[in-house]
Homo-oligomer: A and B are copies of this chain.
Amino acid sequence: MTRDEARALDEADPLRSFRARFQLPEGLIYLDGNSLGALPKAVVARQAETVVTEWGEALIRGWNAHDWIGAPQRVGAKIAALIGAKPHEVIVADSTSVNLFKLLIAAAKLSERPNILSEAGNFRTDLYVADGAAELLGLRLEAVARDEVEARIGADTNLLLLTHVHYMSGARFDMAALTARARAAGALTLWDLSHSAGAVPLDLNGDGVELAVGCGYKYLNGGPGAPAFLYVAEHLQERLMPALRGWMGHEAPFAFDDEYRPAPGLGRFLVGTPPVLGMAALETALDAFDGVTMAELWAKSIRLFDLFRALMAERCPDLRCISPADPEARGGHISFAHPHAFEICQALIAADVIGDFRAPDVLRLGLTPLYLGFEDIWRAVDTLAAILASESWRDPKFAVRGKVT
């Protein structure tokens, strides 16, 4: 495929206009929306309004006048619409890690079984959080190889903790099948949707999902360190008692009761005061999904992926694709292994194509159909091919590591 042909695909793309909803630096190709989503233009005005008008003018009255206090549920309902959940099954709060901890502890206490089962190689915060939670509860964290997870579900499984789309390879678990398998064995499943929400079609209700958490700053474009979300199926909400008990999760936070009484429904998983600036950014960012379905986005994502994979196979065969080709078996990013992936990634960034590196040897590239087009893909591969052909990545400056790499 030529660059002109790729451009023609963009011209025919029904989602092409969505790119205008985002501020993207001129000339830059941004393939890291799976790590930090691009800035939706509407967030700029909303953030200024939140600071200058809401905080500056309403001051403390903003909690009622601008319903800051209702943001966790209100923003949660917007996310629910993207992941196949009921509006009251999602709230926005804290970070993904803290939400994982909250749900892990509360759910694991429903069972007498000894093991939290997860995948070795899962995103590490999931394993670290589970490790800490298991230690507190006197449980064992059992992390097994990906292809052994299903067979390992058994009578000793207290809870199954899985990341739906793998942060590195992009490989996707069969959410419905694994949830059903665990349920049949008497265990609940907690899904980490950090690399799924806003990337692939999700049907949490249809798939019988009981518990989930996810990230606000990746495909949902909520900004760096945006608040995260958690999901609990309606039928389970009243059975979970939080161990992390904050005043915002109380039935009546401003009654100042001596005894903790959990709020009805999901509100009990709120802890401290909601981060209003981050909530506002995320809330407005979600409007970038208005007028498009996840099925439509996913259809374009598949085409972006297929083009990327085909062009790479042709022009950069030394970069080995480690993401599954089958759309049903993967998420919204494409990853390649190479012994010098770090340096290649730095050279790519220096050429204004932003991807990221994941240790030990993976170049990871996010495909975000809201703001990427086919010509972007063509240019990204063209840039990579030039870097490999010229071996420009061997410049020692590309081996320098930052705090975050």
Binding site for B on A (CB under 8 A): 23, 25, 28, 30, 32, 35-36, 38-39, 43-44, 47-48, 51-52, 54-57, 59-64, 67-70, 94-98, 101, 105, 120-121, 123-125, 127-129, 131-133, 135-137, 143, 217, 223-228, 242-250, 253-258, 260, 271-279, 281, 349, 354, 356, 358-359, 402-405
- Asked whether, in the complex, the Cβ of B132 is within 8 Å of the Cβ of A245, the reply is yes
Most interface-central of A69, A124, A227, A358 (chain B CB within 10 A):
A124
A96 close to B272 (CB less than 8 A)? yes
Known: A39-B52, A51-B39. A247 touches B128 (CB 8 A): yes
Evaluate whether A129 and B61 lie within 8 angstroms (CB atoms) in the complex, with A69-B403, A94-B94 already known: no
**Looking at the complex, which one of B64, B105, B127, B272 makes contact with A95 (CB distance below 8 Å)?**
B272
Cβ-defined contact, A39 with B55, below 8 A: yes
Name 11 A/B residue pairs within 8 A (Cβ), A-sorted: A36-B60, A44-B52, A55-B224, A62-B224, A64-B404, A94-B94, A98-B98, A101-B244, A124-B258, A254-B359, A254-B405
Nearest-CB distance from A108 to chain B (Å)? Answer: 11
Contact A224 B96 (CB under 8 A): no
Cα A220 to Cα B279 in complex, Å, equals: 20
Number of copies: 2
Chain B residues whose CB sits within 8 angstroms of the CB of A253 once the complex forms:
124
Which B residues touch A281, using CB under 8 A? 51, 277
List, in ascending order, chain B residues with CB within 8 A of A255's CB: 359
Task: Judge whether B36 and A124 touch: CB under 8 Å.
Answer: no
Given contacts A52-B44, A403-B64, contact A277 B39 (CB under 8 A): no
For the complex, what is the distance from the CA of A69 to the CA of B60, rounded to whole Å? 30
Q: Contact check, B120 vs A258: say whether CB atoms are below 8 A apart.
A: yes
Q: When chains A and B are docked, how far (Å) is the Cα of A137 from the Cα of B94?
A: 23
Top 6 A-B pairs, shortest CB-CB distance: A95-B272, A97-B246, A224-B276, A64-B402, A125-B247, A132-B245
Given contacts A64-B403, A246-B125, contact A224 B57 (CB under 8 A): no
The listed residue (B121, B228, B244) touching A129 by CB distance below 8 A is: B244
CA distance A271 to B101 in the complex (A): 10
- Are B98 and A63 closer than 8 Å at their CB atoms? no
In the complex, A256 Cα to B272 Cα: how many Å? 29
Picked from B129, B257, B402, B403, the residue with its CB within 8 Å of the CB of A245 is B129
- Name, among A32, A36, A356, the residue most crowded by chain B CB atoms within 10 Å (CB to CB): A36
User: In the complex, which residue of chain B has the Cβ closest to the Cβ of A137?
Assistant: B136
Query: CA separation between A278 and B223, bound complex, in Å?
Result: 11
Complex: chain B residue closest to A403, CB-CB: B69
* Nearest residue, chain B, Cβ from A57: B25
Chain B: which residue is nearest A22 at the CB level? B56
